Amino acid sequence: MRPGTAHARVRYKGDDVGDQDGDGTAAVPMAEVMAEMPGVWRRLLAAHVPDRFGRCSACRTATGSGEKWPCSLHRIASQARQLHEQNLAQAIDTDRDG
């Protein structure tokens, strides 16, 4: 954790919103932003599923082949779900301790 920050930075390769601090780490990982939007990550997880060839059925190109599953959107949405669940658990623990 850096001094003056409320929480540790989490670094996810390839899903950063931006390097706003100029220090090479992402200021806000996309999964962290998406964690606060459960409707979004739920829809992404429902849509981005593997087809019978192990490719993402929602990431099809004009040629018909999709990105190898799990695709980047599925990975980000999965990370968002995990962060959301961690945040809920922390909120429950805080209420119990408070």
| pLDDT at position 20 | 47
Q: Can you give the pLDDT of all 98 residues of the chain as single tens digits?
A: 333 333 334 444 444 554 445 555 545 689 999 999 999 999 999 999 999 999 999 998 888 788 999 999 999 999 999 999 999 998 887 767 66
Q: For residues 51 and 74, what is the distance between their CA atoms, to the nearest angstrom?
A: 13
How many Cβ atoms are within 10 Å of 66's Cβ, its own excluded?
Answer: 19
Domains of the chain, residue spans: 30-97
SS3 letters across the chain: CCCCCCCCCCCCCCCECCCCCCCCCCCCEHHHHHHCCHHHHHHHHHHCCECCCCEECCCCCCCCCCCECCCHHHHHHHHHHHHHHHHHHHHHHHHHHC
